[in-house]
């Protein structure tokens, strides 16, 4: 069995799991779920930078899960995570494992990969547009 045949399915699994986990960060910020901001159940203030990040994370993550507008949304989210890393984490030090920026860096490159690779199998993009990737 050639493993290349599994590529669209493993890409879809990566997209779905990554998008779902990413959306949970948005639910924390926007709705105070899963402990909310700082574990206190707090929500981001409407119109704040944290609120905008929450909107992108919540709804962008759900679009990634669905595989709808996958490439442009993944590109936008990759940029968001790069900005988050350099604004919030990099000033605390160079190493991501010490400055708390591991997730931001990982999500940045995950979404950059999805931008290049496409949604894989089981995506609305593929269903609506009849695309193979």
3-state secondary structure the chain: CCHHHHHHHHHHHHHHHHHHHHHHHHHHHHHCHHHCECCCCECCCCCCHHHHHHHHHHHHHHHHHHCCCHHHHHHHHHHHHHHHHHHHHHHHCCCHHHHCCHHHHHHHHHHHHHHHHCCCCCCHHHHHHCCCC
Q: What is the pLDDT of residues 35-56, one digit of tens each?
A: 999 889 899 999 999 999 999 9
Q: What is the pLDDT of residues 19-38, one digit of tens each?
A: 999 999 999 999 999 999 98
Give 133's pLDDT tier (boundaries 50, 70, 90): very low
Greater confidence, 131 or 100?
A: 100
Domain coordinates of the chain in residue numbers?
A: 7-128
Give 87's pLDDT tier (boundaries 50, 70, 90): very high
Average per-residue pLDDT for the chain: 94
């Amino acid at each position: 069995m050639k493993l290349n045949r599994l590529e669209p399915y493993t890409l879809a699994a990566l997209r779905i799991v990554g998008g779902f986990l990413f959306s949970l960060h948005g639910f924390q910020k926007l709705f105070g779920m899963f402990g909310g901001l700082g574990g206190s159940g707090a929500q981001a203030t409407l119109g704040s930078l944290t609120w905008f990040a929450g909107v992108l994370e919540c709804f962008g993550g759900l679009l990634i899960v669905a595989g709808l507008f996958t490439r442009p949304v993944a590109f936008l989210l990759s940029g968001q995570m790069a900005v988050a890393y350099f604004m919030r984490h990099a000033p605390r030090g160079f190493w991501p494992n010490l400055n708390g920026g591991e997730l931001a860096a990982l999500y940045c490159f995950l979404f950059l990969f999805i931008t290049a690779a496409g949604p894989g199998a089981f995506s609305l993009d593929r269903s609506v547009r009849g695309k193979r990737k």
